[in-house]
Amino acid sequence: MNRLEEITADYWEVSKFLRDPDVPGNMTTEESFKLLSSSDRLRPTEWRLMDLMHVITFDIIEGNTEWRPEKQRAIGSVSILPTKG
């Protein structure tokens, strides 16, 4: 898997857990930020993916639940991702 494929896979994994709370498995906020930090390896020409990763990072930080109002997992501005039990 090349560098861009790895970064895209990181974005997909985090967005899957964040945007679909019914997906099996769990991911902590720390794990999601670690995966999203792979965007640091993107080149300026790959700005679209960089923007997507920036948006999802702030969705987590700000507890944005616009895309899942009926299954809110945020308290105040803190995102509550499912955690490993």
Residue 41 lies in a domain: yes
Alpha helices in the chain (DSSP H): 3-19, 29-36, 47-62
Q: Which domain holds residue 62?
A: 3-79
Q: What is the pLDDT of residue 64?
A: 67
| Assigned domain for 31 exists | yes
- pTM (2 d.p.): 0.68
Q: Which residue has the higher pLDDT, 72 or 17?
A: 17
Within a domain: 84: no
| Burial readout 3-37 (b: 16 or more C-beta within 10 A, e: otherwise) | eeeebbebbebbbebbeeeeeeeebeeebbeebbe
Average pLDDT for residues 27-43, to the nearest whole number?
91
Please check whether residue 7 lies inside any domain of the structure. Answer: yes
- What is the pLDDT, as a whole number, of residue 6? 95
Q: Is residue 12 scored above 50 in pLDDT?
A: yes
What is the residue type of 10? Answer: D
Supply the DSSP symbol for 25: S
85 within a domain of the structure (yes/no):
no
The total number of structural domains in the chain stands at: 1
**Interatomic CA distance for residues 23 and 41, integer angstroms:** 28
| Predicted pLDDT of residue 69 | 45
